[in-house]
């Protein structure tokens, strides 16, 4: 198994919440499960620690990182900046074909909305945001975005929504698609910022930060 694969598998385990935020990461167990020795596992944990997904405590092992309200707010703020930038760049560089794909993904997502399927809705939602970032044609931005969103993914794409908020989100996505089709970079940036600000408020209001005694895993189970 390649180094990158090890990192990816552990990242998936963390993002799935299989090891919940704050929990200790059982080195020996993971070694057995991935059928590797401690050396490559520890290399991967150090990388994930640099990404912010793992917290290393010297001489006390590693834990799945836990985000405070402040952390969450900060990361959403950065995410807003990155998506706004991506939106502006995407409007300059996106191809008609890419726009069509996003439009199709949007239609799909709206369908899931009208069917009340939150899981599928979120899946489509995420695909759209990622497609916009990809369309910016800036791999450095894409990978930074990936690492930031990974840390807030569970909060962002798992929080339950009230019907009002959900309806608003869908409306905002209409505007997002519209701005893209008009290639209105500044407008798109504004909408994306507002969209994420609303999502952030939602998440924080729901008390979704991964603080002590606030286990996301249980909530979404």
Partner DNA sequence: TTTTGCATTTTTGAATGCAAAATCTGCGAT
Partner DNA sequence: ATCGCAGATTTTGCATTCAAAAATGCAAAA
Q: Kindly list the residues in this chain that would bind a second copy in the complex (CB under 8 A).
A: 2-3, 39, 42-44, 46-47, 49-52, 56, 58, 71, 74-75, 77-78, 80-82, 84-85, 89, 138-141, 144, 148
Q: Across-strand partners of 54?
A: 64
**Residue 46 CB, nearest approach to a second copy (Å):** 5
160 binding partner (options a second copy, DNA, none; Cβ < 5 to 8 Å by kind)? none
- Smallest distance, Å, CB 140 to a second copy? 4
Residues 210, 190: Cα–Cα separation, whole Å = 29
- Would you say 169 and 198 are in contact if contact means Cβ atoms under 8 Å apart? yes
Task: Report in angstroms how near the CB of residue 37 gets to DNA at its nearest.
Answer: 3
Of these partners, DNA, a second copy, none, which one is at the site of residue 38 (CB under 5 to 8 Å by kind)? Answer: DNA
Contact between 141 and 207 (Cβ < 8 Å): no
**Residue 108 touches which of a second copy, DNA, none (CB < 5 to 8 A by kind)?**
none
By CB under 7 A, how many residues form the interface with DNA?
Answer: 21
Q: Are 83 and 193 in contact (CB under 8 A)?
A: yes
Spatial contact of 110 and 170, defined as CB atoms under 8 Å apart: yes
Residue 59 interface partner, choices a second copy, DNA, none, CB cut-off 5-8 Å depending on type: DNA
Is the CB of 47 or the CB of 118 nearer to a second copy? 47
Place of tokens 């300059």: 92
Q: Does 33 bind DNA (CB under 7 A)?
A: no
Q: Which residue has the tokens 């935020």?
A: 21
Neighbouring CB atoms inside 10 A of 136's CB total: 22
- Report what 126 binds from DNA, a second copy, none; CB cut-off 5-8 Å by kind: none
Return the number of the residue (53 or 109) whose C-beta is nearest a second copy.
53
Nearer to a second copy, 53 or 105 (CB): 53
CA distances, 177 to each of 16, 124, 170 (Å)? 29, 13, 11
| Binding mask of the shown chain, residues 53 to 82, with x at each position contacting DNA by CB under 7 A | ---xxxxxxx--------------------
Give dist(CA 174, CA 123) in Å, integer: 17
Would you state the structure tokens that stand for residue 79, as one six-digit string?
């995410």
């Amino acid at each position: 198994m390649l180094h990158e694969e090890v990192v990816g598998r552990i990242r998936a385990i963390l993002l799935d919440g299989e090891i919940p935020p704050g929990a200790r990461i059982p080195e020996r167990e993971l070694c057995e499960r991935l059928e590797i020795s401690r050396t490559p596992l520890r290399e991967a944990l150090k990388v994930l620690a640099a990404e912010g997904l793992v917290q290393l405590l010297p001489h006390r092992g590693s834990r799945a990182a836990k985000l405070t309200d402040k952390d969450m707010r900060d990361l959403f703020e950065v995410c807003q900046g990155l998506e706004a930038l991506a939106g502006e760049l995407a409007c300059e560089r996106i191809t008609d074909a890419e726009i069509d794909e996003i439009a199709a993904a949007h239609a799909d997502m709206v369908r899931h909305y009208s069917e009340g399927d939150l899981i599928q809705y979120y899946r489509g939602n995420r695909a759209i945001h990622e497609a916009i970032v990809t369309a910016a044609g800036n791999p450095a931005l894409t990978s930074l975005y990936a690492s930031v969103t990974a840390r807030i993914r569970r909060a962002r794409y798992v929080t339950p929504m009230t019907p009002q908020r959900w309806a608003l989100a869908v409306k905002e996505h209409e505007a997002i698609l519209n701005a893209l089709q008009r290639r209105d970079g500044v407008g798109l940036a504004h909408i994306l910022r507002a969209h994420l600000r609303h999502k952030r408020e939602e998440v924080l209001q729901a008390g979704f930060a991964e603080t002590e005694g606030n286990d996301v895993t249980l909530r979404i189970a």
